[in-house]
Amino acid sequence: MEVPNPIDTHVGTKLRDTRSRLGLSAQTLATAIGVTSTRLLEFESGEARIEARVMAKICRVFDVRPSVFFTSMLSEADSRKSTRGKLDAA
C-alpha cells in the first residue's frame, strides 16, 4: 500500500475538521460535491488526492477559499524557511 502524501493528509484533515465544525455528515457533503461517501472519506484520510473541480465544489459548499486548506501548512513552511535563513546567516 502506498503511503499518503503529507500534503494530501494535511488537506484531508482540514476538510474533515471543517466539515465537522459545520455539522455536516460525510454523506451530506459527499452528495453536495457529487462523490460517494467512501470517496470523501478517502479524501479526508489523505488516501486520495482531491481533484481541482472537487475542491472548487467543496469551497462553494463551505463558502471558503481554497487557501483555507493550506494555511497552517504554509505557516509552518514559512517558519522553517525563516529558521533556515537564520542558520545560513550564522
What does the domain layout of the chain look like in residue ranges?
6-89
CA angle 61, 10, 23 (to 5 degrees): 35
pTM for the model stands at 0.79
Q: What is the pLDDT along the chain (90 residues), one digit of tens a residue?
A: 678 899 999 999 999 999 999 999 999 999 999 999 999 999 999 999 999 999 999 999 999 999 999 887 755 555 555 545 554 555
CATH among 1.10.3720.10, 1.10.10.10, 3.90.800.10, 1.10.260.40 for 6-89: 1.10.260.40
Helices then strands (H, E): number in the chain?
A: 5, 0
- Which position has the grid cell 484520510? 45
